Amino acid sequence: MKVYKKGADESYTLGVFPTIELLENRPEVIKRVVVHSSIEENSGYPKIKELCNQYHIHIDIHDPTIDKLSPKNNCYAIGVFKTYEDNLERDNHVVLVNPMDMGNMGTIMRTMLGFNYNNLAIIEPACDIFNPKVIRASMGAIFSLHIKRFKSFEEYYQVYQDYECYPFMLKGAKNIHHVHTNNLHALIFGNESSGLDDSFLNYGQSVFIPHTSKIDSLNLSQSLGIGLYHFSSAQFEDKTSLR
């Protein structure tokens, strides 16, 4: 098996937990599972065997493949799968405009799942979501999300113009603490280095996150986490957990 290259028609997980997430959420795209000969020592292996038996997926024990694809010595399982694209559900969206950092992308996916945002629109150009680095950073959260790429924000907006749009901008017109909604909405975030340009002031209600003058700005992952926490807070009131 070859090391992943951008745009390839198959990719792979690196690690037991992301592989379990792949098996639980996307069994239809899996081609095979490869494990290290020492995986018996890992507590997650019974779950991998159970899921592979359930979905009739073959398990290969092949140390050279693991060693080739994983630069670290703590990888015991790899799930090989066909890359895919979803349609977005009729639910709240996160929209990322030209995200480029793979580590940020994985963290964002995991954060979205934690706050019950399951639909991600990506405006190109953008980093490759199926790069194994993204998958690993997401801890497999990518397989629980509906993700669709768009060539431009206008292409996205033409489909979802009935959504309330909230672009997060330094020039945002409204303090986030004064913005609340129970309607379908899209939270829009810009590139890690340049943010959103002024044209996004024309879409919906632009918002800003207030902070002290001791910093210039929050980074993308921080802004997104704060935004998701704020807009999802109602569903978590008086709840210790949400399943």
> 175 and 209 in one domain?
yes
- The verdict on residue 3 lying in a domain is no
In a domain, 2, yes or no: no
* Residue 120 domain-assigned (yes or no): yes
Residue 238 has pLDDT above 80, yes or no: no
What CA–CA distances, in Å, run from 44 to 18, 212, 214? Answer: 11, 44, 45
57: tokens are 């997926």
Q: What pLDDT sits at residue 242?
A: 54
Q: Are residues 198 and 123 in the same domain?
A: yes
Range of the domain at 45: 10-82
Do 97 and 67 fall within a single domain?
A: no
Would you place residue 240 in the very low, low, confident or very high pLDDT band (cuts 50, 70, 90)?
low
The domain tally of the chain equals: 2
Domain end among 57, 82, 107: 82
* Residue that terminates a domain, selected from 82, 102, 122: 82
Q: What is the tens place of the pLDDT at every residue in 109-131? A: 999 999 999 999 999 999 999 99
**Of 237, 99, 123, nearest to 186 (Cα)?**
123
Residues in contact with 68: Cβ distance below 8 Å, sequence separation at least 6, in sequence order: 1, 3
159-214, pLDDT tens digit by residue?
999 999 999 998 888 999 999 999 999 999 999 888 999 999 999 999 999 999 89
The pLDDT value recorded for residue 2 is: 87
Q: What is the pTM of this model?
A: 0.94
Residues 24 and 135 in one domain: no
Domain CATH code at residue 54 = 3.30.1330.30
Q: So what's the pLDDT on residue 239?
A: 65
The beta-strand segments (E) located in 13-160 are: 30-35, 59-61, 77-82, 93-97, 119-123, 146-150
